[in-house]
Structure 1
């Protein structure tokens, strides 16, 4: 174990044997060397745990923790509980990073005295790579909190965060969250007027199309209930803040849009289940106005017709819905 590492990189690992090597290798070749990697084997049934142990034997900067499967949120918290770095950042096992990421983020964080340093990132889908600008409008904690429900990504993977903040403000990753756990945690931190900085470079490569076990690839009635739970949790978290209305709009949109894409409800079921979120959803600032119009029609009883139309549009124009 490296003594007094400046940065702790937390990697939750589950069914990742196909791409874990690329992720960890990209971390081990960092130009900045004073860091530790915490690989959290979340009860993975494949060879992921063995691969983690293999790295720990080769490099003293790698620490491995094997735990019973508890989901990504519990894995992130396990990493946080065992981290010793001054700053923490997360990396998902199907993604990878640029070699100068930790060096440039750490230097900027020290220069600015930031509690949270935000950077841009890449989205990699197949052969395409998209640059995603994450510059906040204003470096104010409430403004950034609001923008996490608008155009900023809620991920922990493009944010270097001072580890002490979690303890000072008693912030933990939420239990039983299978997604949006990072958004919830970042909002919890930002409620406490922490100091924010931004660096206008992208270092993290977020892969959209490799992990077939990802929550976004499957959907059931349980996922619908889960999204309803998210609305309640986030509403409570943001109650009394300036971003409460944005939060409710965003989470209502999430409920309806995920149900739309899943295609598991009849038109009547969709209206009964999603119609109650229609009013709040319509306040959501969505660039795809055609899609918003489709969601609106679906909520009032035309789901199957509208969904069939969108499937045709998707095939012809190869658009994502």
Structure 2
């Protein structure tokens, strides 16, 4: 991410809240990113740098967390950037409301230079209500269960589960041994992190102000062949089910889990089953998909999911899958992909 890193670090350096420490973790980057962050380290004593062998995003974030000394922690990805008042907004809210976690809004930044304001919730709130916090956790697993959605459109609010628009009390993380989980191969680890933070937070606060620019890089992982996608899905499902069992609220979270399983399978069509790079014959891929759908948790999820919460294309794919008409599900997926590419 060398070409994005300067903008990222400059946005941190220019924060209006000056009393911060900045920990840059180089996770074995093969480009010349180190030249960029070393420049900031030389001119700004608040910057600390850690260079390590590549171990994935989860281990990189954990390395940074374990080196942190501040009262609160906030994460930023190297291809994104923050508003200059991000830390001030989040920290002021945390201090004034005595909150363990503060959430704020984001922008989604596209390749054409346009930025879309994304509201995580409909209005400001501060709460210690366990029911509302639990409902928020449900939404992290499956976004249509957002208890306070902004508008009615079925979209994923950028920042609902991600760690980069959330200020978290560091002691809460350390005392409860909350870390990012490498077991899920860098997928959903941010949401698992947020789920466990919320499970231990006494009070959370949301402020409807934008603090973060989330860059939509054109070469999204969702559109690349990922040979380990099915294994990664299995690991994610295992971790979510572990979380549900630990809370003792399996029935409450199960509908969201079913939705997420279906969503992951549909996304896997574009990164495993029907994507360039998968060398298996098309008929073989269809057969593999059919076998997978007879296994748990896919089998129960597609039978039980509340498809009324889905957008039209996903709903149609689910319908064909339940009828075991996988060729039609494939056609529906391809039409959806073409429509999405035209809209972009």
TM-score, normalised relative to structure 1: 0.86
Shift of 1:251: 3.5
Distance 1:185 1:246, change over 3 A: farther
Summarize the alignment of residues 234-273 of structure 1 with structure 2, pairs less than 5 Å apart: 234-239=240-245, 240-241=248-249, 243-262=252-271, 263=274, 264=278, 266-273=285-292
Does structure 2 conserve the Cα–Cα contact (< 8 Å) formed by 1:271 and 1:300? Answer: no
Summarize the alignment of residues 284-295 of structure 1 with structure 2, pairs less than 5 Å apart: 284=306, 286-295=309-318
Question: For residues 244 and 250 of structure 1, what CA distance do their matches in structure 2 show?
Answer: 10
Question: Relative to structure 2, which stretch is displaced further, 69-78 or 188-197?
Answer: 188-197
The answer for the alignment partner of 2:115 in structure 1 is: 129
Shift of 1:292: 2.3
Q: Given the alignment, which residue of 195, 200, 221 partners 2:208? A: 200
The answer for the alignment partner of 1:280 in structure 2 is: 301
Does structure 2 conserve the Cα–Cα contact (< 8 Å) formed by 1:171 and 1:188? Answer: yes
Secondary structure of residue in 2 paired with 1:257? helix
The answer for the alignment partner of 1:165 in structure 2 is: 172
Shift of 1:89: 0.7
| Deviation >4 Å, runs of 4+ | 316-321
Deviations 1:4-54 (A, max 9, x none): xxxxxxxxxxxx111101111111111111111111000111111232222
Secondary structure of residue in 2 paired with 1:176? helix
Shift of 1:275: 4.2
Segments of structure 2 that go 5 or more residues without pairing to the other structure are: 144-156
Choose between structure 1 and 2: higher strand proportion: 1
Question: For residues 221 and 332 of structure 2, what CA distance do their matches in structure 1 show?
Answer: 25
Choose between structure 1 and 2: higher helix proportion: 2
Secondary structure of residue in 2 paired with 1:65? strand
The answer for the alignment partner of 1:67 in structure 2 is: 52
1:181 matches 2:189: yes
Question: For residues 161 and 45 of structure 2, what CA distance do their matches in structure 1 show?
Answer: 31
Does structure 2 conserve the Cα–Cα contact (< 8 Å) formed by 1:142 and 1:193? Answer: no
Question: For residues 284 and 94 of structure 1, what CA distance do their matches in structure 2 show?
Answer: 35
The answer for the alignment partner of 1:81 in structure 2 is: 66
The answer for the alignment partner of 1:7 in structure 2 is: none
Summarize the alignment of residues 1-321 of structure 1 with structure 2, pairs less than 5 Å apart: 16-127=1-112, 128-135=114-121, 139=127, 140-151=132-143, 153-177=160-184, 178-210=186-218, 212=219, 215-239=221-245, 240-241=248-249, 243-262=252-271, 263=274, 264=278, 266-276=285-295, 277-281=298-302, 282-284=304-306, 286-298=309-321, 300-312=323-335, 314-315=337-338, 318=341
The answer for the alignment partner of 2:149 in structure 1 is: none
User: RMSD value over aligned CA atoms?
Assistant: 2.4
Question: Relative to structure 2, which stretch is displaced further, 78-87 or 133-142?
Answer: 133-142
Shift of 1:299: 5.6
Shift of 1:146: 1.5
Segments of structure 1 that go 5 or more residues without pairing to the other structure are: 1-15
Question: For residues 176 and 279 of structure 1, what CA distance do their matches in structure 2 show?
Answer: 24
